[in-house]
Structure 1
Amino acid sequence: MSAFRGRKSPESVGGAEALRLVGVRKVYGAADAAVAALDGVSLSLPPGTFTAVMGPSGSGKSTLLQCAAGLTRPDEGQILIDGVPMTGGGEKQLTKFRRNRIGFIFQQYNLMPTLNVAENVTLPLKLAGRRADPERTRTVLAQVGLADRLAHRPDQLSGGQCQRVAIARALVAEPSIVLADEPTGALDMKSARDVLSLLREAVHAHGRTVVMVTHDPLAASYADTVQFLADGQLAGWIAAPTPDSVAERLAHLGDPAHQAATPHHQPIGA
């Protein structure tokens, strides 16, 4: 696996937007019990970048990721992947769109216990009716350090190794964007650092676009930028994050004086 070659700033990446949300709104409940999990969120992320999304519990970060993945339909607004609107058709069309363009990494891996590593990695391709290239599968598994584990089943792997399988599964189909939901939440510190390095490697050495929801400032510091959410709305962003700068920004999300001094919206195309 090639070494990490330094972060790309969003400004240094050309091309179409990898992900764009335009006025996305998602409400749960009705009448007096209605809660806007997302309240008119607009966001644009270039290709080849690593973005972390953070915010307090209930801020809307998981809903944002689920809407971006097509797992939850927004009530209002539009979501585009590589400039292509996410289909408004039936579930079959949405599933096809998702499988062709989006890779998803879950906190709890979501591996099939009866399948070996290679079979788990290629399962989404087979479900999409696409041929799994054995050489491509071996290459991706080698990139995540599992070249010698192709025939192992999940119960023969550590938690960190299972998450590596999940990363390989998300990458093997060469999706436009990879969405990760707390991918290190179930891991020990060393495994977490390894997984975060792999995600960063996928971006900077292999050109993928990664969006990761996390609650951990250390995990967020592996990203190029951090977007903050509060009460379903964007509440600022920072570039070249460090654990300290992320923690400090989180501590002041509800501070009007601090928010007035920091940008709430990343420039479109930045």
Structure 2
Amino acid sequence: MRLTAVSKVYGSGERGVAALREVSAQIPQGTFTAVMGPSGSGKSTLLHCAAGLDRPTSGSVLMGGTELTSLSETRLTLLRRQRIGFVFQSFNLVPSLTVAENVTLPLKYAGVRVDQGWLEHVLHRVGLSERAGHRPGELSGGQQQRAAIARALVARPELVFGDEPTGALDTVSAREVLRLLRESVDQMGRTVVMITHDPVAAAHADAVLFLADGRIVDLDHSPTADGVARRMAHLGAWA
């Protein structure tokens, strides 16, 4: 994925607010990238523009040869269903459905036949084979987020976007979720982009993009929890 001079302005004229300012970044296929920055730095806007959930005011978003900014809303919706997976801080599981039904729900919306063998494989990878028939209310928070990751992976997406996927979890559950995201890159060849406020979570990534005031101000290709925390302190997050 490549973003070139992506800007996003909400509103117009003197009241316009620039959330992104000519952001350019290349995210290689099969890598894990974390995005960090103080509140209001543009992290969520960057994710939304990169994932085709929002249109940039200007600039280019290229995903595997497809220019997202030129697609119609219908084609963007189709692209997101077929090529992108999402994992959010809130699990967004349907309470009345089982784990297996929740995981396969996007496939049914897209009119795609469920590959039972692949479903079983994905559930096994996230450690929920024995919980496939349970409903979300019968699962722990960590198990619910693992179900959300399975839902993101079951359509074999090229890209998985995570928006604070460990934000609502305890330390042990967060570690499990990060391990699964890391494995989806290393063993399944997916590309993961994750927004996080947690330096420990960011240290699981191959690279960390630091945002401030809508711009990329630094890039760390060898992230450690301590190094990320120090860099964030200079951006004001822990000042």
**Structure 1 residue 57 corresponds to structure 2 residue 39:** yes
- Partner of 2:99 in structure 1? 117
Alignment of 1:49-198 (within 5 A): 49-86=31-68, 88-198=70-180
Q: Are the equivalent residues in 2 in contact too, given 1:69–1:104 (CA < 8 A)?
A: no
CA drift of 1:192 comes to 0.4
Q: Are the equivalent residues in 1 in contact too, given 2:99–2:131 (CA < 8 A)?
A: yes
Where structure 1 has 5 or more consecutive residues not aligned to the other structure, the ranges are 1-18, 255-270
| Inter-partner Cα distance in structure 1 for 2:222 and 2:182 | 13
Select between 224-233 and 70-79 the one with higher mean Cα deviation: 70-79
Q: Residue 100 of structure 1 aligns to which amino acid in structure 2?
A: Q
Q: Residue 166 of structure 2 aligns to which amino acid in structure 1?
A: T
| Inter-partner Cα distance in structure 1 for 2:221 and 2:71 | 36
What TM-score do you get using the length of structure 2 for normalisation? Answer: 0.96
Select between 52-61 and 119-128 the one with higher mean Cα deviation: 119-128
CA drift of 1:33 comes to 2.3
CA drift of 1:87 comes to 5.6
SS at match of 2:40: coil
| Inter-partner Cα distance in structure 1 for 2:83 and 2:210 | 25
SS at match of 1:237: strand
Q: 2:7 aligns with which of 7, 25, 40?
A: 25
| Inter-partner Cα distance in structure 2 for 1:90 and 1:127 | 19
Select between 59-68 and 77-86 the one with higher mean Cα deviation: 77-86
CA drift of 1:67 comes to 1.0
Q: Are the equivalent residues in 2 in contact too, given 1:87–1:93 (CA < 8 A)?
A: no
- Partner of 1:8 in structure 2? none
| Inter-partner Cα distance in structure 1 for 2:219 and 2:55 | 25
Q: How many matched pairs?
A: 236
Q: Residue 184 of structure 1 aligns to which amino acid in structure 2?
A: T
| Inter-partner Cα distance in structure 2 for 1:44 and 1:151 | 40
Q: Residue 83 of structure 1 aligns to which amino acid in structure 2?
A: G
SS at match of 2:122: helix
Where structure 2 has 5 or more consecutive residues not aligned to the other structure, the ranges are none
SS at match of 2:129: coil
What TM-score do you get using the length of structure 1 for normalisation? Answer: 0.85
Q: Residue 77 of structure 1 aligns to which amino acid in structure 2?
A: G
- Partner of 1:260 in structure 2? none
- Partner of 1:234 in structure 2? 216
Q: 2:226 aligns with which of 226, 233, 244?
A: 244
SS at match of 1:115: coil
Q: 2:22 aligns with which of 40, 47, 63?
A: 40
Moved beyond 4 Å, runs of 4+: none
| Inter-partner Cα distance in structure 2 for 1:166 and 1:210 | 14
Q: Residue 46 of structure 1 aligns to which amino acid in structure 2?
A: P
- Partner of 1:265 in structure 2? none
| Inter-partner Cα distance in structure 2 for 1:42 and 1:83 | 16
**Superimposed CA distance per residue, residues 189-225 of structure 1 (whole angstroms, 9 cap, x where no aligned partner):** 1000110011001111221110000011111011011
SS at match of 1:148: helix
Q: Residue 217 of structure 1 aligns to which amino acid in structure 2?
A: P
Q: Of Structure 1 and Structure 2, which has the larger fraction of its residues in helix?
A: 2
**Superimposed CA distance per residue, residues 81-129 of structure 1 (whole angstroms, 9 cap, x where no aligned partner):** 1122126343221100111111111110111111111111111111111
Taking only the aligned residue pairs, the percentage that are identical comes to 62
State the superposition RMSD in angstroms.
1.1
